[in-house]
Amino acid sequence: EDQVTQSPEALRLQEGESSSLNCSYTVSGLRGLFWYRQDPGKGPEFLFTLYSAGEEKEKERLKATLTKKESFLHITAPKPEDSATYLCAVTIQGAQKLVFGQGTRLTINP
Amino acid sequence: EPEVTQTPSHQVTQMGQEVILRCVPISNHLYFYWYRQILGQKVEFLVSFYNNEISEKSEIFDDQFSVERPDGSNFTLKIRSTKLEDSAMYFCASSRLSWNTEAFFGQGTRLTVV
């Protein structure tokens, strides 16, 4: 069965303290890996798409990387406004949907 | 910036009643989806839709659910006879180029079945 697992479930950091969130996947034929941000009571907001191992994408304090088994979302010098749940999702060969992980709830303390 | 619009933002309904959740996808997008998220749980796929046909549906999407694109802009999800366990946030999403490009999500409809 296709699975997406995110770790940790929750992460609390001090402002400026860099860290990484992990998304590991066990799927039959990865087509794309997507990172989203979700604020409480809101819809997922698109951040990055990665298609092949070795690919990296960057936006402000966030950088996403992809290997053959996992993806990392690196957050550098985070600010309180980066607090949110970060969701990882994949598309797989032959399927017309996103498969989501359970998310990592990130809290940045001032 | 174009966005996916969902209405209503919150709906309360009695068990057994029919509800219709409405979505206006981004105008030049061709691929449409419905997902749901029960409080505290992961985002779950319900159905995908392309060229006026269902492309894929999950086990959740049983005979009580239906989708329609009644005109060139709206995309609806109907639940015929709601159950308590249908209470969730329902998200509409759309993609422009294919199933494998980024999907943009609406802000959701919170459905509460009492």
pLDDT digits (tens, 9 = 90+) for A87-104: 999 999 999 999 999 999
Chains A and B: how many Cβ contacts under 8 Å? 61
Task: Please name the residue of chain B whose CA is at the shortest distance from the CA of residue A35.
Answer: B102
User: Tokens for B40?
Assistant: 């505290």
Closest Cα in chain B, distance from residue A31 (Å): 7
DSSP code string of chain B = ----EEE-SEEEE-TT--EEEEEE--TT--EEEEEEE-TTS--EEEEEEETTEEEEE-TT--TTEEEE--SSS-EEEEESS--GGG-EEEEEEEESS-TTS--EE---EEEEE-
pLDDT digits (tens, 9 = 90+) for B62-87: 999 999 998 878 999 999 999 999 99
Name the residue with tokens 């690196």.
Answer: A74
Torsion of CA B55, B60, B61, B62, to 10 degrees: 130
Please tell me what DSSP assigns to residue A94: T
Q: Do A43 and B45 count as a contact with CB atoms less than 8 A apart?
A: no
CB A23 within 8 A of CB A79: no
pLDDT digits (tens, 9 = 90+) for B1-33: 789 999 999 999 999 999 999 999 999 999 999
